[in-house]
Amino acid sequence: MQQTLTQAIDVLKKNHLKVTKQRKALLTYLLDNQDHYHDVTLVDDYMRQQFPGMSHNTIYRNIKEFEQAGMVEQQVEGDQARVKYQCDFSHLHHHHFICQRCGKVTELKECPLDVFQEQLPGYQIVGHRIELYGLCAQCRAEMAVD
């Protein structure tokens, strides 16, 4: 985890973002919980417990800056934003499998975009996001026991 925190701090510096104790705490929280998406409101609550004088705007701005720097992935469902720490800096373009029971996020290395592009001759795809939902192996095993 220390190496990953060091990587994250390097990304902050490369993006000309100050390395503050609040940003380190936010990064540490996200790193400690990187296998799940977390409601931004819960992240906000955690940060305000750690730093009572910290404003909501500062927390949301930091999350947005982390996202712009490629350190945070965001998922929006209706009006609820959720974030998680970037899985792999060496493989920025990837997709996820998300367990519907426990919420665990697993990174998928392959991108099926070519399959879609073949079905759209003459079209230009300019962006996409693919998330698969189901049950992880652990949840399936637990359900089989029940």
Instruction: Judge whether 99 is annotated as a binding position.
Output: yes
Domain residue spans in the chain? 2-85, 95-145
The CA-based dihedral angle spanning residues 40, 43, 47, 49, taken in that order and rounded to the nearest 10 degrees: 110
Taking CA atoms, 14 is separated from 1, 2, 8, 17, in Å, by 20, 18, 10, 8
**Sign of the dihedral defined by the CA atoms of residues 41, 45, 50, 54, in that order:** positive
Distance CA 16, CA 113 (A): 33
The partner residues of 37 in beta bridges, in order of sequence, read none
Instruction: Judge whether 139 is annotated as a binding position.
Output: yes
pTM here is 0.71
Q: Would you give per-residue pLDDT tens digits along the chain (146 residues)?
A: 555 888 889 989 999 999 999 999 999 999 998 888 999 999 999 999 999 999 999 999 999 999 898 888 888 878 888 898 875 555 557 777 888 888 888 888 788 888 888 899 999 988 877 888 899 999 999 988 86
- Our CA angle for 34, 38, 42, nearest 5°, is 125
Confirm if 110 and 132 have CB atoms less than 8 A apart.
no
Instruction: Judge whether 87 is annotated as a binding position.
Output: no
Which tokens hold the place of 37? 């998406």
Q: How many helices (H) and strands (E) does the chain have?
A: 6, 6
Distance CA 37, CA 134 (A): 15
Query: Which amino acid does the sequence have at 146?
Result: D
Hey, what CATH class is 2-85 in? mainly alpha
Superfamily, domain 95-145: Ferric-uptake regulator, C-terminal dimerisarion domain (3.30.1490.190)
Q: Which of 67, 46, 69, 128 is nearest to 95 (CA)?
A: 128
Query: Which pLDDT does position 60 carry in this prediction?
Result: 92
Instruction: Judge whether 128 is annotated as a binding position.
Output: yes
